[in-house]
Chain A
Amino acid sequence: MTTIWKTAAVLTMVAASLFGRSATAQDYKVGSIEITAPWTRATPPGAKVAGGFMTITNTGSEPDRLIAGSFGPAKRVEIHEMAVEDGVMKMRMLETGIEIKPGETVTLKPGGLHVMFLDLEAAIAQGAKVVGTLTFEKAGQIEIGYEIAPIGAGKPAADHGHHGAGSGSAVQR
């Protein structure tokens, strides 16, 4: 009897942790740097570039900088900023990376800051997580897993599921 209850309790915990994992965005931590929900998008065939997005928080008392990264199928990774000014899309490479001040949270998102994946050797397919690394000036390097959202998605795939915004090319309205 007790073993049954124990088994049930363990199963419940396993289920809870599984659901917990899929329902909440995955966080990563290195030194005073916390990275939340890294994601990218599936790429059209033949595409050679993609952008990586996430939020980065500096919980320490010293400023730090995101200076480099790597991404599974990409030969190179750069840090870029995009902006649309007067109807013109402008792209800029940030040679000194992105500063994260103490206590500050920086959001990398479509239409703004992003980690740029270059010279993709294979298309990014929707579904499976892709491993990459980020390097911070002080906190050092950390391995992270990027969730893959559909082509053209404005938000990470997890968000889509939650708000019923759908995925893929399904028409919502």
Chain B
Amino acid sequence: MAAQKSTLGTIRLILWAAVGVAVLAGGLILSGELARTGPGLPGAARIGGPFVLTSHTGQRFSSERLAGKPYMLFFGFTHCPDICPTTLHEVSKHLEALGPAADNLTVLFVTVDPERDTQELLSQYLSAFDKRIIGLTGTAEEIAQVTKAYRAIYEKVATTGEDYTMNHTATVYLFDAGGRLRSTLTWQEPEETRMGKLKKLLAG
């Protein structure tokens, strides 16, 4: 009888301890999530991640360089007739309009076509746009890794013979100094809206 009572007591104790651990763990996960998400977009903590690529000037570029400063990142390729040069042109216009205020903004154009977009070609191509734009290329594996980190999609589309074009995520991501996704730009929205988002991002 006494032995049975003490067994029940032990079970009760273990159960309560389990509840305690669950509550504590839940709280920790939640606070961690909140800390990472902060004022960014919902789910923003899951977008972005470490990468090392090669810049159009030939230097290795690590995502560590993005810490503590706002940055803009978008994917594209130079064998792109429309959306990529348009994005680069519009971004250049915004940078010019923002002037020195945008010097603190890191702007990254990441190729999804590393096979054709060599460092030399990126360097040549980007000479037509704002000098603050950094072109990034890498090995097929490095590009696969960075696109995965940013939840971007890219795929080769066969055209004629051996030739191909690319489908890719065309979103322009805006991250704050804490590395949180704050907003995105699209070319369907008015220029004023885009400028507003950029000014807000730069204001912190």
Q: Which residues of B contact A (CB under 8 A)?
A: 78-83, 85-86, 88-90, 92-93, 96-97, 121, 124-129, 153, 157, 159-160, 163, 165-171, 186, 191-192, 195
Is there a chain B Cβ closer than 8 Å to A45's Cβ? yes
In whole angstroms, how far apart are the Cα atoms of A65 and B97 in the complex?
Answer: 44
Tell me the minimal C-beta distance from A87 to chain B in angstroms.
Answer: 5
Is there a chain B Cβ closer than 8 Å to A82's Cβ? yes
Query: Do residues B127 and A45 form an inter-chain contact, with CB atoms below 8 A?
Result: yes
Tell me the minimal C-beta distance from B110 to chain A in angstroms.
Answer: 14
Q: Which of A89, A93, A110, A169 contacts B93 (CB 8 A)?
A: A169
Is there a chain B Cβ closer than 8 Å to A111's Cβ? yes
Interface class of chain B by DSSP: mixed
Query: Do residues A82 and B127 form an inter-chain contact, with CB atoms below 8 A?
Result: no
Please count the residue pairs between chain A and chain B whose beta carbons lie under 8 angstroms apart in the complex.
97
Query: Do residues B167 and A45 form an inter-chain contact, with CB atoms below 8 A?
Result: no
Q: Which of A41, A80, A88, A110 contacts B168 (CB 8 A)?
A: A88
Q: Which residues of A contact B (CB under 8 A)?
A: 41, 43-51, 76, 78, 80, 82, 84, 87-93, 110-111, 114, 116-118, 151-152, 154, 169, 171-173
Query: Do residues B81 and A152 form an inter-chain contact, with CB atoms below 8 A?
Result: no
Select from chain B the residue with minimum beta-carbon distance to A45: B124
Tell me the minimal C-beta distance from A47 to chain B in angstroms.
Answer: 6
Contacts of B90 in A (CB 8 A): 152
Q: Which of A49, A84, A93, A154 contacts B80 (CB 8 A)?
A: A49
Contact status of A173 and B157, CB under 8 A, knowing A43-B85, A50-B81, A87-B170 = no
Contacts of A169 in B (CB 8 A): 89, 92-93, 96
